[in-house]
Amino acid sequence: MDHYAIVVDKKGFIQIDELNKQAYDAVFNDPDLGLKLSREAFNDSVSLKYSKGIAESKLQEGWCLLIKTNYEEALEALEKSLKGFKDLNNDIGEMKALNAFGVLYSNISNYETAMDYHTKALELSIETNNNERLISAYINIGTLYAELEKYEEALDYYTRATKILKKTNNQEQLCVCIINIGDIYENQRKFDNALAKYTEGLSIAESINNKHYVCNSLTSLGKTYKNIGEYEKAENYHLKSLEIAETLGDKLSKAECLTNLGTLYLANNDIDMSISFHTKALELSKEINSKYYEARNYKKISDYYEKKNMPLEALSNFRNYHNLKIELQNEEIDIKLKSINIQNKIEAVKTEAKNQREKNEKLQEAFDRVSILNKIGQDITSSLDLETVMNTIYKNISTFISADLFGIALYNKNTEEIDFKYFILDGKRKKRSSNPLHTEGSMAAWVINNGNYLFMNDVKAEYIKYVTKLIGDNTDKTNSLIFVPLTIGTSVTGIITIQSYKLNAYTQQHLEIIQAVGAYSAIALENSRIHEEIFKLNNIINKEKIELEKAYLKIDRLANHDILTGLPNRRLFIELLKQELRKADRQKTKTAVIFIDLDDFKLVNDNLGHDAGDKVLKMVSQRFVSTLRESDAIVRIGGDEFAAIICNVKNKIDVEKIAKKLINKFNNPFKIENSKFQIGLSMGISIYPDDDNTIDGLVKKADTAMYKIKSESKNSFIFFEK
């Protein structure tokens, strides 16, 4: 090759490196663009026989396919990348490829294999003394442990990464690591430690002006302060986070902030503020098609209407929440089944080099299994009746796997009891009593507590690894068993078990079938439970609709009227006065407020007792009502104090006439139990808008005038004087 050709190749290499860099930058933001650029880099690398470019382009292609969840093609690309870097003795490239493998296997829930790849990357980074890759390995292993809820191990690896990062200038990675540590403490309910880490993360994020990290830190602080009951601080942080999310145009973060604020106000019993934020969050969630936040907000809005005694609205929102929850759960099942299918295919691909025929058989077997499982899933989820669902589960499992004992148990988290709803022994349906979660020797309890399956082909030799003794039906005969947890999200809702009297009765394939069926079963059983709750709620609503309406009217009257006299109370007085003031503004008239105190009423109570006093108060109320105009209002403030709203007056003369009319009316004594009592009226008057244009001001000034006249002369009235 001549000198000119070499120069052209070097320029080509530089262009390929730039393409790979652009592909790397696009991996998370635009994986389709990243895929296009990486494949362009690969083709150019092949043309120029640029080995490093080939390995690097396959790495970026693998990442893009991984982000797009195209795991089979991602695996193929990453295998070529890893081999290319190994052939070049490129340690950094090899560690990056190992890291990508770890993430891929973690995404398909094969955590053991994921840990193997991350550990290999860790060992190589230590061997080559590469701090940058060592940090990545620590963070990846910490993240994996966090996903497995092994928080102490996760904390250990995040802490190792942090120590190294504090000696570098990589503040963004340090910020992420610190926030991750805060999340660990939050999950452990070590709230003081979590707050310290989130505050540290916030400080770093602000120092590097990374608003996304600032937003995340503020949200985390808000959640933690809410958890420890410091609602004012929680509100402050969530509002700041919301402001930044709006500035960034980050609608998903904004939906999270609005939802968090709604939940916070509900916890603080500010129901109206809560519904306001949940409604805004719901609208935004629909706009960005976030089913998770949409479901959460429908549930909170349903809870709001339930607290407000509005069952129809509560039921409508609960149904929307329920439908979205089913959609999310079905998507989760599809992902689980997809992961199972992918792992089956991966295993089949690994054996291809040894035996092509065996590979084809396994691929066909995997395809058939998924097809069968899809059919079983459709059968199981086609009904909402609990008994029908359980019969369908048993019928489908027994078609493929023989069992001397079969059981479905549901776990009640509130009572911490395990209830075998469906139990077949030697082909016959049996009844089983409920067991406490902490029953010694219960394998069902072990599975629920640990969230993991049990698989034994020699029970008497293996049980001691899990329980101290054997309990249950026919334990002396049982030699093989499978217990699988039923899970919704991260919560275990029950178990399915099959058991056989034979040794070595079950295979790994049987376990996988039960696990896959269990995924469908968990959803179907949960749907049945929710359906039953909705059915009961509908019955209650139908039976109590009239009673609820009566109760609402009664409650409304009790809340706004004095129980003794039937007159409006102080609460309704304020509302009536608001309405009259608005009316006065529209009609350009005046409104008077008269505060009234009964003179010498105490003599009635002292001489005849409180029962007689109550009768006099009723008579007083009737006299007020009969004297005032229909357009006016009289209310009982409390004790022997009343207030009148005199509307549509032009001047003081109009009000004075009414006040004199009341005094004249009350000049007639009250007769009670053969006794006569003279009750006078001390009245203080304020006029809107002459004396004040606010409700509080009018009330205070009328009250002031009333006390003045009572101290001076009694049984008279006086206007407020400035």
- The answer to whether position 40 is within a domain reads yes
Flag whether pLDDT at 8 surpasses 50: no
φ and ψ of 436, to 5 deg: -60, 150
Q: First and final CA of the chain: distance in angstroms?
A: 108
CATH number of the domain enclosing 629: 3.30.70.270
Q: Is residue 518 very low, low, confident or very high in pLDDT (cuts 50, 70, 90)?
A: confident
Whole-Å CA distances, 165 to 133, 152, 179, 250, 381:
12, 20, 14, 28, 50
Q: Which of 39, 68, 89 is at the close of a domain?
A: 89
Strand partners, 483: 454, 497
* Choice among 536-545, 547-556, 658-667 with the minimum mean pLDDT: 547-556
Q: What is the per-residue pLDDT for 431?
A: 87
- The answer to whether position 190 is within a domain reads no
Q: Are 152 and 115 in contact (CB under 8 A)?
A: no
Flag whether pLDDT at 556 surpasses 80: no
Q: Are 134 and 122 in contact (CB under 8 A)?
A: yes
| Claim to verify: residue 574 and residue 714 sit in the same structural domain | yes
Average pLDDT over residues 475-498: 89
- The answer to whether position 461 is within a domain reads yes
Please write the tens of the pLDDT for every residue from 36-71: 999 999 999 999 889 999 999 999 999 999 888 788
| Claim to verify: residue 467 and residue 585 sit in the same structural domain | no
- The answer to whether position 462 is within a domain reads yes
Flag whether pLDDT at 3 surpasses 50: no
Domain range for 590: 570-719
- Sheet of strand 633-638: strand arrangement: 633-638, 641-649, 590-599, 680-688, 716-719
Q: What is the per-residue pLDDT for 110?
A: 82
| Claim to verify: residue 581 and residue 484 sit in the same structural domain | no
| Claim to verify: residue 579 and residue 711 sit in the same structural domain | yes
Q: What is the per-residue pLDDT for 560?
A: 84
CATH number of the domain enclosing 488: 3.30.450.40
CA-to-CA distance for 633 and 585, rounded, in angstroms? 18
Of 186, 194, 266, nearest to 231 by C-alpha is 266
Please write the tens of the pLDDT for every residue from 135-151: 888 998 988 888 888 98
| Claim to verify: residue 474 and residue 613 sit in the same structural domain | no
Q: Are 202 and 180 in contact (CB under 8 A)?
A: no
| Claim to verify: residue 611 and residue 695 sit in the same structural domain | yes
Please write the tens of the pLDDT for every residue from 88-143: 999 999 999 999 998 888 887 788 888 899 999 999 999 999 988 888 889 989 88
| Claim to verify: residue 487 and residue 628 sit in the same structural domain | no
| Claim to verify: residue 577 and residue 705 sit in the same structural domain | yes
User: 3-state class of 564 per DSSP?
Assistant: coil
Q: What is the per-residue pLDDT for 307?
A: 81
Question: Percent of the chain, pLDDT > 70?
Answer: 90
Q: What is the per-residue pLDDT for 4?
A: 33
| Claim to verify: residue 581 and residue 464 sit in the same structural domain | no
Among positive and negative, which fits the CA dihedral 555, 558, 559, 560? positive
Q: What is the per-residue pLDDT for 575?
A: 92
Q: Which of 68, 89, 110 is at the close of a domain?
A: 89
Flag whether pLDDT at 559 surpasses 80: no
Flag whether pLDDT at 654 surpasses 90: yes
- The answer to whether position 380 is within a domain reads no
| Claim to verify: residue 606 and residue 465 sit in the same structural domain | no
Continuous segment of H or E residues that includes residue 685 = strand 680-688
- The answer to whether position 446 is within a domain reads yes
Of 244, 245, 223, 246, nearest to 235 by C-alpha is 223
Q: What is the per-residue pLDDT for 530?
A: 78
| Claim to verify: residue 582 and residue 709 sit in the same structural domain | yes
Q: What is the per-residue pLDDT for 438?
A: 85
- The answer to whether position 436 is within a domain reads yes
Average pLDDT over residues 333-348: 59
Q: What is the per-residue pLDDT for 2?
A: 36
CA-to-CA distance for 179 and 199, rounded, in angstroms? 9
Q: Is residue 337 very low, low, confident or very high in pLDDT (cuts 50, 70, 90)?
A: low
| Claim to verify: residue 496 and residue 596 sit in the same structural domain | no
Q: Which of 89, 124, 142 is at the close of a domain?
A: 89
Whole-Å CA distances, 467 to 147, 464, 474, 603:
26, 5, 17, 81
> For the whole model, what pTM was predicted?
0.46
Helix orientation angle between 508-560 and 311-350, rounded to the nearest 10 degrees:
160
- The answer to whether position 421 is within a domain reads yes
CA-to-CA distance for 377 and 390, rounded, in angstroms? 13
Q: Is residue 7 very low, low, confident or very high in pLDDT (cuts 50, 70, 90)?
A: very low
**Structural domain total, the chain:** 3
Dmax (CA) for the chain in angstroms is 134
Conformation bin of residue 70: beta by default, left when phi > 0, alpha when psi is -120 to 50 = beta
